[in-house]
Structure formats: structure tokens, C-alpha cells
A and B are shown apart, each in its own frame.
Chain A
């Protein structure tokens, strides 16, 4: 069945760049009507949407993170990626990748219907 799996370094030093990848399997990565999202959750806190990207590479970012975020896709690998630069301890969180449902025919949707298991990223020297 459809699965998403995050992969990342686990530990990142302050001021460096956090890089994460999400591998998609069990279904089409290029189906129209879906975007691919990154969402994070600091320890003991709520969820925060980081951004979403289409399979063709069109990204949308959370305005509060936009200056530090980049996202990309690799359709040959069924994979999409996140880069967050100039990290601080406040960026310590579990990072989830998710499928972002957007539209079907003339209907619009705005929700995340499938999630990866999450990857804990700790920012520390």
C-alpha cells in the first residue's frame, strides 16, 4: 500500500543546514491533484506546516519559514526533499512528510491524507 518514509541525519549543528528526504512507494508520485508536504512537531508541541511541493516542482512555503526553506522533487526516485538553513535549537522537532490532497476534477481539497512515521531531528553542537 501507499507509504512515505523520511530519511535524515538525526543530529544537525546550529547554523548548519538540515536536509531530509521522503521516499514514496506503493503508488503514483506524479498523480495530478496531490502535493507533497513537510510538517514538523517540536517536542511536546503542536504541528507546524513547513511547505508543500507539486511533483512538477512548484513549491509553497509557510511565510514564517520561507526565507530559510527550500524543497525539491526527484520523480526518477519517487522522492522529495527539504532543506532548512541556519538552524537553531528551535528547529529541533519530529519532521513528517505527508501527502497533501489538493484537487480532483473540479473539486478542491486541503488536507493531509497520508503521513510518514516521522524523523527526529535534533539541533545541537
Chain B
């Protein structure tokens, strides 16, 4: 299965919003509402931020939100803060007990 496509980079000033896209196919994002997003700071393990397209685990700020339209899922970070500068990875269930990850996006807070 091919990796989900994400833009290599995105940026925004403190307090602004940034949206990251995650484009798959009808075999993954387009069919299943099992899209998750992970935040990864340099040298650290990924952290679950969003699951099932738009649900936040306990402890994740409500500045993080997710959505999906067709074959594309999106993660929006509102009210950007310096600590939000990190890499973000999307993932989707791809059928037959398989997962596929995205190519990753580096978010810079200007």
C-alpha cells in the first residue's frame, strides 16, 4: 500500500492556525473513519493527538482538531504555540488488518 501524502512543511505565527492535509485513497482514508494523527518532537517518540478522524485522547489540548472529506483528512492546530513546533504524521486503517502512515509534515512556528 502507498504511503499517505502529506505536505513536507507548514508554518504559522503564534496564535494563528495551521492545517495539515493527509491524502490517501478509497482503500484507506476514503473508506474508513480510522484516521489518527501523531505529534513527534525531535528525538522523541510519537504522541497520539487525534484518533477516529476527530477524537482527542485525554490530555490533548482542544486546539487540536481533525476532519475528513473524501480521501483527504486534515489536522488543524489553532492558537499556535511554540511547543506545537514538531513533525506530524497521519495514519489510516487500510483494510485487511493493515495500517498505512503518511509521509510526515514539519510544522514551524514563526
Interface residues of A (CB under 8 A from B): 39, 45-49, 52, 60, 62-64, 96, 101, 108-113, 115-118
Task: Supply 20 further A-B pairs (C-beta < 8 A) apart from A46-B101, A49-B101.
Answer: A45-B103, A47-B46, A48-B3, A49-B91, A49-B98, A49-B100, A52-B97, A63-B1, A64-B1, A96-B45, A101-B51, A109-B34, A110-B34, A110-B99, A111-B34, A111-B51, A111-B91, A112-B38, A112-B48, A117-B44
Contact call B46/A63, Cβ cutoff below 8 A:
no
B57: chain A residues at CB < 8 Å are: 113
Contact call B46/A110, Cβ cutoff below 8 A:
no
Total interface residues on B, CB under 8 Å, equals 26
**Contact sample, A vs B, 11 pairs, CB 8 Å cutoff:** A46-B6, A46-B101, A46-B103, A48-B3, A49-B101, A60-B98, A63-B98, A108-B34, A110-B36, A112-B38, A112-B91
Q: Could you tell me the dominant secondary structure of chain A's interface residues?
A: strand
B48: chain A residues at CB < 8 Å are: 111-113
Q: Known: A47-B104, A111-B91. Is A60-B45 also a contact (CB below 8 A)?
A: no
From A48, A62, A110, A117, give the contact of B93 (CB < 8 A): A110
B91: chain A residues at CB < 8 Å are: 47, 49, 111-112
Residues 1-28 of B, flagged 1 when their CB comes within 8 A of A and 0 if not, give 1010010000000000000000000000
Contact call B89/A46, Cβ cutoff below 8 A:
yes
A101: chain B residues at CB < 8 Å are: 51
Which partner residue on chain B sits nearest A115 by CB separation? B45
B102: chain A residues at CB < 8 Å are: 46
Top 8 closest pairs, chain A to chain B, by CB: A110-B34, A46-B104, A110-B93, A60-B97, A111-B36, A115-B45, A49-B99, A111-B51
